[in-house]
Amino acid sequence: MVKPAPREHGMYAWANPWFRWSVVPLAVLTIVSMLVGFVWLPSVHGDFSAQGLWESICRAAGVPGTWTPADTSTRGAPPSTDVVLERRMALSGANDAVGRGATLALNCTMCHGAQGMSSSNAPNLAGQYPEVVIKQLLDYKSGRRSHTLMQSLARNLSHRDIEDLAAYFAYLPKARTAPTTYDETLPALVRVGDPLRNIAPCISCHGGVDQKLGAPWIEGMPKDYLVEQLGAFKTGTRRNDSQAQMRNMARPMTPKEIDEVAAFYARKASAGQGP
Amino acid sequence: MFHASKLVLAHFWVAFVAFLGAILLGEWQMFVRSPLAQWVNNPEHYYRSVTAHGTVMAYVLPTLVAMGFGYALTELSLRRPLIGLRWAWGGFWLVVLGTAIAAVTMALGKASVLYTFYPPMIASPFYYIGIVLVVVGSWIWVGLMTVNLRAWRKANPGATVPLAMFGNVAGAYLWAWTSVGAATEVLVLILPASLGLTDTINAGLARVFFSWTLHAIVYFWLMPAYIAFYTLVPRAIGGRLYSDTMGRVAFVLFLVFSMPIGIHHLFADPQVGAGFKFVHAAMTAMVSVPTLLTVFTIVASVEIAGRLRGGKGVFGWIKTLPWGNPMMLAVTFSFVMLGFGGAGGIINMSYQLNETIHNTQWVTGHFHLIFAGAIVLMYFMVAYELWPQLTSCGPLPPGLMKAQIWLWFIGMMVLSMPWHLVGLLGMPRRMAYYDYSHPAIAPQAWTVIASTLGGLLLVISAFILVYILAAAHRRPKTVPAPFSFSAMAHAGGRTPVALNGFGLWVAMMIGLTVVNYGFPIAQLAMLKEASVPVIPIGSR
């Protein structure tokens, strides 16, 4: 004899035990884990519970009442730069911007050369990425990067002047004869860096593997300039790299390595230029 | 099979050809960062390869297998022709087109962002458009599974949905809801940035959206394997399915618990509050329940096979199991890898323990062992089971199949166990090279060589798989035996109404997602300071 099937309730009926036994335990599980995660566990952490239960719950939810302590004495040094790099800074400028920039650039020729190619130890600017020139000039203007001459020159430049100068220098032909590409002959630090000392390869930002926004092209730069800047990053006297990326690269480098890398990039100059 | 054979074959072939290419890339990656090779000169090539390997293995292969297997299950378990064959072909070609677009973009070096969508790194828009097409193609499959189930229910009012189809549709619904996270991330946040419409992106919010998809996608990958555990394994080895109800419970538990747990991938991310991290960790622990239920049920079903073959005593049934049967071998290896991988996973999901292995090679080892090992091995078995139906090739050569399964198991263990070990020692994942000459890591060099050799076994195994499947097409045609699923140990049981439909479980899945994700998403979306400049990859 076939046993009659028990009366079946609808899926969503309270009388359906499957419904009861899945919804209630799930709700209990959720509530209990919420209580543990938002009330119990934070209560044993002093920094969570110092300002009462509600503040502790807010912190556990990721929204503390205040993000930084009111006492500013514990805050770190001033920010390294005020400039936020944006992609639109990298766009090439309009013709009139280039023309205006060319006029303004007459002020720069004494050190940076008539065509943006320096014959002293100032950096070459011909063909430099526009966002690099914008960022450095803004940093000089605000005092985040220091140089006696550059700070006083940048102080009087308007934002538009700076953008026009950047457009002009970007418009000038690049000095490099061949871009740095990866091959076995590159010095190890340039090609693969030193992973165990957290030194990234130069070519992963400065062109070759990738060219990161805000990283200058440095092929053909005067060697003395490169050595000086790496040294300044190493000691922290230059600190306008927004994420401390260059300070962190330069700090573990030995003077010999700095010399090697600088010599490598300086050699990659155009035919008319000295090493 | 009625008229979906060609469709299913197309899905499996594209999946396995892509898989063959991607496994070669994986082995190349292993080789170039082992002490056997010089440091890779251009690390960008390494990351390009990782992107391609991951995109194919994580998105293309499992999606196509789930879709193809789903279409086959629809015809085989419902015993009626697939409705919407044209739509299914449309979905297939969308997946193929999307894969091709993404592949070209990756090959050009415009998408070396790895395959996880973590801004502010942004690839070329074509990469994302390709992936979106793959997902849209799979949504057509989700729709078709619903339509076919509905039509069958209408024709068979009050009947119990066959377990295979039940699992299949559970997988489809899981995927539909899972993919909403990454789809939102790509369409709302990433594509505008990638197309240059915005300069900044809310990176924290994007990562939370990706985590929505990132963990539940794993259970979408896993569904075909679990369907095979329940509905193919007991039959193939001459046992009975111990409990049909347990299978249904496992499938609906995956629906409920695989979604609201993804933040355990963001334990090290500062933008999510510690409270939510804990809740997600607790819920992640719950998702081990359906796996434990499955292991219990399948081992019980296997025991029935051993006892039917005359096994006696507490352990005597193990000796009498059909060890010469490829499926027996596969399910054993799959469970061994599931065991190690699952144990590792419990460490990953623990909020505190995770700190020791976060972003180390341990993680790579974990997901290779559990997905590429336990799950993909069952994908092979699904293909072996379906092939005689699809190609009328007669039985496949058991010797070659067993060699392939053995190689896959040994290869995967030799590949992933050293990764776990060096992960504990702190070796980071996603590095293009290591300085083995440095005394601090010189002692770990042998592990990378071991993994390379394990990878080599996997490559050989993959080629044997493709050879077996390709050779079957050339064999004389025979009329295939009618396809059957596992018989139940306790036939005639009544299936509760709650386990014959999805309404309650889908409601719980969505409800729990809203509870666990609603606040972090809303809070990050309203946080202006969360936007950061994008970093386009390969743009200069």
Per-residue pLDDT tens over the stretch A112-142: 988 888 888 899 999 999 999 999 999 999 9
Rounded Cα distance between A13 and B145, Å, is 27
Spatial distance between the Cα atoms of A128 and A170, rounded to a whole number of angstroms = 5
User: Using CB atoms within 10 A of its CB, is residue A124 exposed (0-12), middle (13-18) or buried (19+)?
Assistant: buried
The active-site residue, picked from B12, B71, B128, B219, is B219
Q: Residue A194: phi, psi to the nearest 5?
A: -140, 95
Q: Catalytic site residue B215?
A: yes
Residue A252's domain spans which residues? 188-267
> How far B444 CA sits from the closest chain A CA (Å)?
14
Q: Are B36 and B452 in contact (CB under 8 A)?
A: yes
DSSP B490: S
* Pick from B42, B440, B498: CB nearest A19: B498
From chain B, pick out residues whose CB is under 8 angstroms from the CB of A48. Answer: 274
Question: Would residue A237 count as lying in a domain?
Answer: yes
Q: Does B490 participate in catalysis according to the annotation?
A: no
- Please say if the pLDDT value at position A93 is more than 90: no
Q: Is B278–A33 a contact, with Cβ atoms under 8 angstroms apart?
A: yes
Domain co-membership, A94 together with A165: yes
A61/B519 touch (CB, cutoff 8 Å), yes or no: yes
Q: Among all residues of chain A, which has the CA nearest to that of B432?
A: A192
- In the DSSP assignment, the letter for residue B35 is T
* Position A94 in a domain: yes
Say if the Cβ atoms of A196 and B283 lie within 8 Å.
no
The shortest CB-CB distance from A210 to any of B272, B534, B538 is to B538
Instruction: Decide if A11 and B44 are in contact by the 8 Å CB cutoff.
Output: no
Residues of chain A found within 8 Å of residue B282, distances taken between Cβ atoms:
29, 33, 36-37
**What is the number of structural domains in chain A?**
2
Tokens of B10: 């197309």
Kindly report the number of other CB atoms within 10 A of residue B181's CB atom.
Answer: 24
CATH number for A244: 1.10.760.10
Contacts of B501 in chain A (CB under 8 A): 11
Residue A84: closest C-alpha in chain B: B533
Task: Give pLDDT tens digits for A165-221.
Answer: 999 999 998 765 555 666 667 888 998 898 889 999 998 889 888 888 899 988 888
> Which residues lie below 8 Å from residue B531, measured CB to CB, with a gap of 6+?
B200, B201, B202, B203
Q: Which of B153, B307, B358, B429 is catalytic?
A: B429
Q: Which residues contact A225 (CB under 8 A, 6 or more apart)?
A: A121, A122, A123
CATH number at residue B13: 1.20.210.10
DSSP per residue, chain A: -PPPPPPPPPTT-TT-HHHHHHHHHHHHHHHHHHHIIIIIHHHT-HHHHTT-HHHHHHHHTT--S-SS-S-GGGS-SPPS-SPPP-GGGGSPPPHHHHHHHHHHGGGGHHHH-TTS--SSSSPP-TT--HHHHHHHHHHHHHTSS--HHHHHHHHT--HHHHHHHHHHHHHSPP--SS-----TTS-HHHHT-BGGGTBPPGGGTBSSS-B-TTPPP-TT--HHHHHHHHHHHHHTS----TTSHHHHHHTT--HHHHHHHHHHHHHS--TTS--
Residue A42 lies in a domain: no
Nearest to residue A191, comparing CAs of B78, B476, B127, B44? B44
Cis ω on the peptide bond leading into residue A130 (within 30° of 0)?
A: no
The tokens 């609906």 sit on which residue? B252
Tokens found for residue B412 = 């995967």
Count Cβ atoms below 10 Å from residue B280 Cβ, excluding itself.
27
Q: Which residues of A touch B256 (CB under 8 A)?
A: 22, 26
Check residue B123 and give its pLDDT.
92
Full-model pTM: 0.92
Number of domains in chain B: 1
Using a CB-CB distance cutoff of 8 angstroms, which residues of chain A are in contact with residue B508? Answer: 22-23, 26
Q: Is residue A231 situated within a structural domain?
A: yes
- Judged by CB atoms within 8 Å, which residues 149-188 of A form the interface with B? 182-184
Residues A193, A145 share a domain: no
Centre a 10 Å sphere on the Cβ of residue A255 and count the other Cβ atoms it contains: 11
In a domain, A217, yes or no: yes
**Residue B476 DSSP class:** P
Is the confidence metric ipTM above 0.90 for this complex? no
DSSP secondary structure string for all residues of B89-157: HHHHHHHHHHHHHHHHHHHTTS--S-SS--TTEE--HHHHHHHHHHHHHHHHHHHHHHHHHHHHHHHST
Least confident of A15-29, A48-62, A129-143, B442-456: A48-62
**Is the pLDDT confidence value at A270 over 60?**
no
Which of A181, A209, A242 is the best residue to mutate to test the B interface, defined by the most B CB atoms within 10 Å of its own CB? A209
Burial of B105 (0-12, 13-18, 19+ CB in 10 A): buried
> What's the angle, vertex CA B102, arms to CA B97 and CA B105, rounded to 5?
130
Q: Which residues contact A4 (CB under 8 A, 6 or more apart)?
A: none
Range of the domain at B112: 5-536
| Chain A residue with minimum CA distance to B439 | A196
How confident is the model at residue A131, as a pLDDT?
A: 94
Active site residue B219: yes
Is the C-alpha dihedral spanning B398, B403, B405, B406 positive or negative?
A: positive
Q: Which token pair is B133?
A: 């097409």
Q: Report how far residue B354's alpha carbon sits from residue B341's, in angstroms, rounded to the nearest whole number.
A: 15
DSSP string, B163-204: HHHHHHHHHHHHHHHHHHHHHHIIIIIIHHHHTTS-SEEEHH
CB atoms within 10 A of CB B46: 21
* Chain B residues close to A182, C-beta within 8 Å: 41-42
For residues A24-52, average pLDDT? 89
Burial B68-91 (b: 16+ CB within 10 A, else e): bbbbbbbbbbbeeebebbeebeeb
Is B420 among the catalytic positions?
no
- The yes-or-no verdict on residue A69 having pLDDT over 70 is no
Among residues B366, B371, B384, B420, the one annotated as catalytic is B366
Q: Which of B277, B508, B534 sits opposite A26 (nearest CB)?
A: B508
| Tokens of residue A111, six digits | 């050190």
Do residues B276 and A62 lie in contact, with contact meaning Cβ atoms separated by under 8 Å?
A: yes
Paired residues of A260 in beta bridges: none
Q: Distance (Å) from the C-alpha of residue A108 to the closest C-alpha of chain B?
A: 28
Q: Considering only the beta carbons, identify the residue of A23, A88, A209 that sits closest to B199.
A: A88
Q: Do B512 and A30 touch (CB under 8 A)?
A: yes
Contact A84 B435 (CB under 8 A): no
Q: Is A201 on the interface with B (CB under 8 A)?
A: yes
Query: Which letter, b or e, does each residue of B442-477 get, where b requires 16 or more Cβ atoms within 10 Å of its Cβ?
Result: eebbebbbbbbebbbbbbebbebbbebbeebeeeee
Question: Hey, which residues 204-243 in chain A have their CB within 8 Å of chain B?
Answer: 204, 207, 209-213
CA angle B285, B290, B292 (to 5 degrees): 85
Residues of A in contact with B436 (CB under 8 A): none
Which pLDDT score, from 0 to 100, does residue A1 have?
Answer: 39
DSSP assignments along B199-263, one per residue: SEEEHHHHHHHHHHHHHHHHHHHHHHHHHHHHHTHHHHTT--BS-HHHHHHHHHHHHHHSSTTGG
Kindly compute the dihedral angle of the four CA atoms of residues B430, B434, B438, B442, in this order, to the nearest 10 degrees: 90
Neighboring chain B residues of A85 at a CB cutoff of 8 Å = 533
Domain end call among A171, A203, A222:
A171
Residue A14 CB burial class (10 angstroms; 0-12, 13-18, ≥19): exposed
Residue B44: the pLDDT is 85
Strand partners, B396: none
Task: Count Cβ–Cβ pairs < 8 Å, chain A vs chain B.
Answer: 127
**Is A21 an 8 Å CB contact of chain B?**
no
How far apart CA B132 and CA A269 sit, in angstroms, is 45
- State the pLDDT at residue B328: 97
| C-alpha to C-alpha distances, B360 to A110, B37, B214, B356, nearest whole angstrom | 53, 22, 18, 9
Chain A partners of B200 at a C-beta cutoff of 8 Å? 86
Mean pLDDT of chain A: 85
A22 at B interface, C-beta within 8 A: yes
DSSP string of B329-383?
HHHHHHHHHHHHHHHHHHHHHSTTTHHHHTTBHHHHHHHIIIIIIIIHHHHHHHH
Give the chain A residue whose CA is nearest to the CA of B497. A11
Whether the pLDDT of residue A73 is over 70: the answer is no
Of all residues in chain A, the one with the smallest CA distance to B257 is: A26
CB of B278 within 8 A of CB of A48? no
Neighbours of B120 (CB within 10 A): 17
Residue B426 three-state SS: coil
Residue B367 among the catalytic residues: yes
Parallel, antiparallel or unpaired: strands B531-533 and B200-202: antiparallel
> Percentage of residues in chain A with pLDDT exceeding 90?
47
Please, is A210 exposed, middle or buried when counting C-beta atoms within 10 Å of its C-beta (0-12, 13-18, 19+)?
buried
> What string of pLDDT tens digits covers the 540 residues of chain B?
788 999 999 999 999 999 999 999 999 999 999 999 988 878 889 999 999 999 999 999 999 999 999 999 999 999 999 999 999 999 999 999 999 999 999 999 888 888 888 888 899 999 999 999 999 999 999 999 999 999 999 999 989 999 999 999 999 999 999 999 999 999 999 999 999 898 889 999 999 999 999 999 999 999 999 999 999 999 999 999 999 999 999 999 999 999 889 999 999 998 899 999 999 999 999 999 999 999 999 999 999 999 999 999 999 999 999 999 999 999 999 999 999 999 999 999 998 899 999 999 999 999 999 999 999 999 999 999 999 999 999 899 999 999 999 999 999 999 999 999 999 999 999 888 888 888 988 999 999 999 999 999 999 999 999 999 999 999 999 888 899 999 999 877 788 888 999 999 999 999 999 999 999 999 999 988 888 888 888 767
Among residues A128, A116, A112, the alpha carbon closest in space to that of A216 is found at A128
Q: Is residue A58 part of a domain?
A: no
For chain B, how are helix, strand and coil distributed in percent, rounded to 5? 75, 5, 25
Q: Which residue has the tokens 């335990």?
A: A25
Residue of A nearest to B273 (CA): A62
Compute the CA torsion angle B26, B10, B402, B388 (nearest 10 deg). Answer: 180
Q: Which residue of B has its CA nearest to A181?
A: B42
Q: Rounded to the nearest 5°, which phi and psi values hold at B466?
A: -65, -35
Q: How far is CA B440 from the centre of its chain?
A: 36
Inter-chain contact A62–B520, Cβ cutoff 8 Å?
yes
